[in-house]
Amino acid sequence: MTDVEDRVRDWWDADAEHYDRSAGHALSDPVEAAGWRAVLRDVLPQAPARVLDAGAGTGALSLLAAELGHRVTSIDLSTAMLGKAEAKAKERGLELEIVVGSVSEPPEGPFEVVMERHVIWTVADPVGALRAWREVAAEGGRLVVFEGIWDPTDPVGRAKAFMGERLRRMRGEADHHHAPYPSDVLAQLPLSGMSSPLPLVDAIREAGWRTVRIKRLRDIEWAAKLHEPWPLGWLEQRQRYVLVADA
């Protein structure tokens, strides 16, 4: 494990007690969870498929995929985050295979699907990780990547993000995370702060995945906006998308 991975793991271990306070992280809002179920049913093959959730965190997508009848392996650097996923699976009567480790060193396949949500930006060598995922994908398998434009660069987007942050502070609401991400770590993460899907599309293609296609997740954006009070939901709305590619 590299020094960057050690730092990333330690940060997420510390964040485990804070992460699920956000409805968007935990998918605890019933409407947003229903939206994600619909998306997963569209992009995953017919159940039961063997699915690797890379960087599963506290298990939000792993659990929804398991509900849909898939056999899910959840891998993450953070033992503390996976502990939350395991506890939630037990409460819901679902089965997850839990693997503590780097997403760049996935467990043995073959997996019909390798999926991730908001994880690839935390990887120091995203092309290497994407290549490793392709190597454990089944013949005819697919990659499913859920990401978004979290740090807008246009003037309107930046103004909305600033006002949303100020409004949360005025309301005395806790931040979605325990602390800011260390700037020296962010500097070593090539896909952090993406203002366009293009760098990610290029990385997926470089890793050997084929026929990359993209779809904007407007229903998820809408559902996420609904569970925040006005105007916070509008101010914090971000463009989200799914990228799908073939092994």
Which pLDDT score, from 0 to 100, does residue 176 have?
78
Could you list the residue range(s) of the whole structural domain that residue 155 is in? Answer: 3-246
Tens-level pLDDT at each residue, the chain (247 residues): 689 999 999 999 999 999 999 999 999 999 999 999 999 999 999 999 999 999 999 999 999 999 999 999 999 999 999 999 999 999 999 999 999 999 999 999 999 999 999 999 999 999 999 999 999 999 999 999 999 998 888 898 889 888 988 888 888 776 678 899 999 999 999 999 899 999 999 999 999 999 999 999 999 999 999 998 899 888 888 999 999 999 9
Which pLDDT score, from 0 to 100, does residue 165 have?
86
Residue 69 CB-density burial (10 A; 0-12 exposed, 13-18 middle, 19+ buried):
exposed
How, if at all, do strands 71-76 and 96-100 pair? parallel
Cα–Cα distance between 212 and 241 in angstroms, integer? 13
| Phi, psi for residue 53 in degrees, rounded to 5 | -95, 100
- pLDDT digit string (tens) for 203-212? 999 999 999 9
**Total domains present in the chain:** 1
Average per-residue pLDDT for the chain: 95
Which pLDDT score, from 0 to 100, does residue 232 have?
87
Which pLDDT score, from 0 to 100, does residue 1 have?
65
| Phi, psi for residue 230 in degrees, rounded to 5 | -70, 140
Cα–Cα distance between 202 and 219 in angstroms, integer? 26
Q: What is the CATH number of the domain that holds 218?
A: 3.40.50.150
Using an 8 Å Cβ cutoff, are 238 and 147 in contact?
no
- pLDDT digit string (tens) for 17-27? 999 999 999 99
Cα–Cα distance between 241 and 112 in angstroms, integer? 21
* Amino acid, single-letter form, for residue 207: A
Sign, CA torsion 9/78/99/60: negative
Cα–Cα distance between 184 and 205 in angstroms, integer? 28
Which pLDDT score, from 0 to 100, does residue 169 have?
85
Which pLDDT score, from 0 to 100, does residue 10 have?
96
DSSP 173: P
Which residue in this structure is represented by tokens 């930006």? 121
